[in-house]
């Protein structure tokens, strides 16, 4: 297996915790290839930052306008509803 082969299979290595057990050639390549180890590690950290970074707060000024629009739509769909 080459770095090129691993590159094509990177998603599986990143997403599937069992990939390295199932596909011994991935594990064997990674064990002997420090650059590929770092690339996999870098990608895992990249995803972690985006996933765990501070969520975007919805602007407070938008909240009121948004609720009003929902209520108006709700009243149109359910004329008897209490909103």
Partner 1 sequence: MAPDPTADEPDDLSLLRRARGGDFVAFEALVGRLQGRVYGVARRIVGQSQDAEDVVQQTFLSVIEHLDTFRGDSAVATRVLRIATNFALKVLRKRRGLPTVPLDGAETFANVPHPDYIAQWRETPDQLLERAELREQLDLAISELDDKHRVVFVLRDIEGLSTRETAEAVGISEANVKVRLLRARLHLRERLTREFGDDATRLIPDHSHATGGTP
Pair of tokens at residue 36:
């590929």
Half-sphere exposure of 20 (CA within 13 A, CB side): 12
Among 17, 51, 60, 64, indicate the residue that binds partner 1 (CB under 8 A).
51
**Coil/strand/helix, residue 57:** coil
User: Is residue 62 near partner 1 by the rule CB under 8 A?
Assistant: yes
Spatial contact of 27 and 20, defined as CB atoms under 8 Å apart: yes
Among 17, 59, 60, 64, contact with partner 1 (rule: CB under 8 A)? 59
Contact residues for partner 1, defined by CB under 8 A: 1-5, 7-8, 10-11, 14, 24-25, 28-29, 31-35, 38-39, 41-43, 45-56, 58-59, 62, 65-66, 69-71, 73-74, 77-78, 80-83
């Amino acid at each position: 297996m080459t770095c090129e082969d691993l590159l094509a299979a990177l998603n599986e290595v990143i997403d599937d915790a069992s990939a390295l057990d199932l596909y011994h050639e991935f594990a064997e390549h990674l064990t002997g290839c420090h650059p590929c180890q770092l690339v996999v590690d870098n990608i895992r950290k990249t995803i972690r930052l985006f996933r765990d970074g501070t969520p975007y707060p919805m602007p407070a000024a938008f909240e009121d306008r948004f609720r009003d629009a929902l209520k108006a739509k709700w009243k149109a769909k359910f004329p008897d509803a209490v909103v």
